[in-house]
Chains A and B, each alone.
Chain A
């Protein structure tokens, strides 16, 4: 059984986010959680409301950037944070759902706003049976 999870990795001015799991979709879901964790602890975000997302791209890497940028857009325009993600992939087309809630400054204590996902340190690949999806996000 390959565990799913996420982590941050250092970048000089911004933050690297990395998701991993048994499938490409799981790695994408975890990368989105790592994105939330740039702003606040995902455990503080109650999955009250759901938002549907779709995107597509020419390759896995560009698709990860598209997916993360869709979430950045929803975070910015709905003033929401997301703590539960569901991704279904068909080639380089993605259908996803994100559960979360409106930002509550007192409870979430959001640290920083994400401007966008970048192509820096971008990788989507399999390593020893485990899928990894990562890039640097500009904050």
Chain B
């Protein structure tokens, strides 16, 4: 990235004062090395976000930021509804509420080893993954609406899991304010047979080992010890979210001029929070958040069924469930004054620090678990919202490694079968319906997740707690 115009005001913080149509500064959390590597498009996109009406404080980008649609992936921005603030379909993205759920298993890695092959096959058989796969549940219209309003709580009421699961899910598993009537028939139709499916691309279900602990106190509070086996589920709101994103991107791109909003990029499509189209989008998007949480709840149930057959002694409980593509109304201190703001996180995660009132009571003293997914070969990290997080990027952190190579290039570089064999040699079992899909997701096509996580830690966004090493990975 071209660094002229950017001021390094901390070791891991860069600030670009407003120029032109920018209403606030743009701020990127990264080292000089990562800034230099970052795509110029991130600078352009984050500066564009800073031009949107009602934006508060600054437009932020996380250490893993890369070229997205309108907003960079790894972008965070908050808007004040009383100051003409907007909601942006592009700022949330196509895969609304895509996120990660982590589960304890109660197993130790020694117990996992002899069961690994059977567990991999059973999970792959139990959890529908890949293009065209369908779930066992088909939702009739009334049930669809109940799901859109009820989220993971709806899934629990239908027998997928227990109410104890909901305590560790954001919003207790049910996002308030969802309006099923604002979700089109097409979006509902796209979802009808997709409940409890993983999807494809970078979505996965992994069985992982806690391979290293960095923060003993936080790890203990999360119930993690070295050698423990956990499960991570990464997926989102499936076809419903994709369709809502598609439709509102189009509608907001059309209506923007009528609201006097000059869009520097059509993908930044947005509407005032208090406008009819803005309110309809909020109602539909909250439905999609519920859909994603319900989906991860059903997949949790399927995961339990697979474990019950292979390792009946395992007890799967929810460690935490967090979403990465959302716009949520939150209270934040701005210049010492509490304000109610709509915070967009596009490819970024909430990272609330200790004491935050929205955290479950048993985690409030330590802070929010922040799960950061890496590629299938390199592992993932568990972090905790830092005490400073509330003042940094509205309590946000990075969400993953981010790609370093296009799918196009990855396909020319790797063969899926060879990637699977190489990982199997290292004790990582991949199960996927598509070799090509595996080649596109090859570990070498992703940035070094450790570097990204270290920077989030150093920048004070979130603190490292544990490293998770993959053993089994079901890819869509």
Give the interface of A toward B (CB within 8 A).
8-16, 39, 58, 62, 65-66, 69, 72-73, 76-77, 79, 103, 105, 109-113, 115-120, 122, 138-139
Q: How far is the CA of A15 from the CA of B200 in the complex (A)?
A: 14
CB-nearest residue of chain B to A109: B434
Contacts of B131 in A (CB 8 A): 39, 103, 105, 110-113
Q: List 23 A-B contacts (CB under 8 A).
A: A11-B406, A11-B408, A12-B66, A12-B67, A13-B66, A13-B67, A13-B68, A15-B408, A16-B408, A69-B246, A103-B132, A105-B131, A109-B433, A109-B436, A110-B131, A110-B437, A111-B436, A112-B476, A116-B94, A116-B243, A116-B249, A119-B265, A139-B407
Q: What separation, in Å, do the CA atoms of A13 and B254 have in the docked complex?
A: 26
Contact between chains at B267 and A113 (CB < 8 Å): no
Residues facing A in B53-88 (CB within 8 A) are 66-69, 73
A116 touches B433 (CB 8 A): no
How many interface residues does chain B have, given as a range? 35 or more
Q: State whether A116 touches B242 (Cβ < 8 A).
A: yes
The reply to whether B200 and A113 form a contact with Cβ atoms under 8 Å apart is: yes
For B186, list chain A residues within 8 Å (CB): 73
Q: Given A73-B186, A111-B440, A119-B267, A62 and B250 touching (CB < 8 A)?
A: yes
Q: A29 to B149: give the CA distance in the assembly, Å.
A: 39
Known: A73-B243, A119-B253. A12 touches B406 (CB 8 A): yes
- Residue B239 CB within 8 A of the other chain: yes
Q: Which residue of A lies closest to B269 (CB)?
A: A119
Once the chains are docked, how many angstroms separate the CA of A66 from the CA of B247? 10
17 A-B pairs besides A58-B254, A115-B95, A122-B266 with CB distance below 8 A are A10-B406, A11-B408, A13-B66, A13-B67, A13-B403, A15-B408, A77-B239, A79-B132, A79-B134, A105-B133, A110-B433, A110-B434, A112-B476, A119-B69, A119-B249, A120-B267, A138-B69
The residues of A that contact B134 with a CB separation of less than 8 Å are 79
B388 located at the interface, meaning its Cβ lies under 8 Å from any Cβ of chain A in the complex: no
**B241 to A, closest residue via Cβ:** A115
Residues 84 to 98 of chain B near chain A (Cβ within 8 Å): 94-95
Interface centre among A15, A16, A79, A112 (most CB of B within 10 A): A112
